């Protein structure tokens, strides 16, 4: 009986960890959808401007709100410096601070691709562990 209780607790823990990983990576996927808009904005923006992604949590809400737009490159750099000083999220790349340019877009694509493959690997590994444990019990 104790053995069964331990195994069910272990399975629950694995599932909770997986859920946390999925929810955590969801913010990066939201950020990624903004990068698609960012690419569009970069085409529209004039040469002396670049796209940025501004994100913040509104009062009384828990979800992040994103805005994309064009700013002068010097202003974008200034925003990044301010952001580093204030430790608030102004722009996101791989869920970290960065100004949005072509490198930004490529970097976050790489991040999303690696995060997705890591997520699949984690889920397969945990499924294997759970199935092996169940097989040992029964």
Q: Please check whether residue 38 is in contact with residue 100, taking contact to mean a CB–CB distance below 8 angstroms.
A: yes
Map out the domains of the chain with their CATH numbers.
23-131 (2.10.60.10)
Distances (CA, A) of 136 to 3, 51, 93, 132: 11, 55, 44, 6
Look at residues 34, 35, 24 and name the one whose alpha carbon lies nearest to residue 115.
24
Q: What is the model's pLDDT at position 39? A: 54
Look at residues 72, 107, 80, 110 and name the one whose alpha carbon lies nearest to residue 93.
107
Mean pLDDT of the 116-129 span? 59
Position 51 confidence tier, pLDDT thresholds 50, 70, 90:
low
Percent of the chain with pLDDT over 70: 0
Helix (H) or strand (E) holding 18: helix 2-44
């Amino acid at each position: 009986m104790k053995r069964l209780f331990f195994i069910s607790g272990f399975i629950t823990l694995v599932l909770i960890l997986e859920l946390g990983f999925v929810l955590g990576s969801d913010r990066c996927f939201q950020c990624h959808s903004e990068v698609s808009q960012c690419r569009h904005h970069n085409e529209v923006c004039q040469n002396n401007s670049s796209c940025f992604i501004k994100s913040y949590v509104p009062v009384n809400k828990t979800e992040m709100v994103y805005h994309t737009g064009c700013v002068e490159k010097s202003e974008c750099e200034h925003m990044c410096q301010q952001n580093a000083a204030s430790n608030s999220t102004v722009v996101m790349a791989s869920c970290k601070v960065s100004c949005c340019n072509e490198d930004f877009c490529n970097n976050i694509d790489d991040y999303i691709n690696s995060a997705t493959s890591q997520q699949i690997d984690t889920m397969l590994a945990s499924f294997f562990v759970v199935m092996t444990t169940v097989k040992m019990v029964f």
